[in-house]
Amino acid sequence: MSTATGYNFAYLDEQSKRMIRRAILKGVAIPGYQVPFGGREMPLPHGWGTGGMQVTASVIGEADKLKVIDQGADDTTNAVSIRRFFAHTAGVETTEQTAEATLIQTRHRIPERPLQADQILIYQVPIPEPLRFIEPRESETRKMHALSEYGAMQVKLYEDVARFGHIATSYDYPVMVNNRYMMDPSPIPKFDNPKMSMMPALQLFGAGFEKRIYAVPPFTQVESLDFDDHPFEVQSWDEACAICGSDHSFLDEVITDDNGSKMFVCSDTDYCRERVEQGFVGTAADLPIAEVGTN
């Protein structure tokens, strides 16, 4: 495969990659701590995955197989755009299969299939600071982290309990990493939070325009915040995936007609495909599946 002429392997110059790798190493050494780094301008807009892309560009090698997902799917437009970017600038092999990917860059999901020790999961992070909406000032939140002063977040969650009867945060749900740092897991649904804990794969987080990198090393404890009498719980659906019949994966709701009829399908497209291959079927298996355009 050829790479883009005039640009270094994987776009960033080697000095920048080294700087980013140093930040990653520091992040791995201090799980959950936000490491400031000299975030570079990328040819994609901020908020569209530039942090994840800089991390990917810094750890990717010629032998890697890259998978990019957005909302769990490989074929959403931004995932396509980022996958193409690396196919073009690094000439690496890409895949849609979770099982065979060595690097997975993701936005808003963790794949349903458990990840392995030889894989790296790279999250795109819009706002790395879990305390940002409680205290907008960076100079303050850095102090709060340094002193492990996280009472304000517990109060916020308690206010939810007092008003609604339970914690009303459904995604971007704050976690404690290795019993030390409070961390923003990026806007994944809280459904995915438990997967982060003791995961054999390395988890890296990149926030491009906020210029922060953080990490969860393999087999690190990640706990979602909760209360003894209001334990953390994940979403569940009464429905099952209409395509593969899965009753245990995160489901997307799809509106199918003008009357608001709906069906539920797996958000993780590769997981759904794998299950269909294994012979699982859902209620919509006999319906014609139309595809807009072709791949």
Task: Give the number of other Cβ atoms within 10 Å of residue 91's Cβ.
Answer: 14
Selected catalytic residue, list 27, 39, 206, 272: 272
CA geometry: angle 107, 109, 110, nearest 5 deg: 120
CB nearer to another protein: give 43 or 200.
43
CB nearer to another protein: give 76 or 178.
76
CB of 243 to another protein, least distance (A): 8
Distance (Å, rounded) from C-alpha 154 to C-alpha 160?
A: 10
Selected catalytic residue, list 27, 32, 52, 208: 32
DSSP codes joined into one string, 5-20: TTSBTTBS-HHHHHHH
Verify whether residue 266 is a known catalytic residue. Answer: yes
Angle in degrees, 0-180, between the axes of helices 50-59 and 77-89, rounded to the nearest 10:
30
Verify whether residue 245 is a known catalytic residue. Answer: no
CB of 153 to another protein, least distance (A): 18
Selected catalytic residue, list 72, 206, 241, 282: 241
Per-residue tokens: 6 = 């005039």
Verify whether residue 206 is a known catalytic residue. Answer: no
Using only C-alpha atoms, the chain has a radius of gyration, in whole angstroms, of 20
Verify whether residue 260 is a known catalytic residue. Answer: no
CB of 119 to another protein, least distance (A): 21
Distance (Å, rounded) from C-alpha 189 to C-alpha 124?
A: 14
Contact (CB, 8 A) for 134 and 156: yes
Task: Give the number of other Cβ atoms within 10 Å of residue 38's Cβ.
Answer: 10
Contact (CB, 8 A) for 139 and 131: no
Verify whether residue 272 is a known catalytic residue. Answer: yes
CB of 179 to another protein, least distance (A): 26
- Strands 103-107 and 93-94 come out as unpaired
CB of 254 to another protein, least distance (A): 6
- The set of catalytic residues is 32, 241, 244, 266, 272
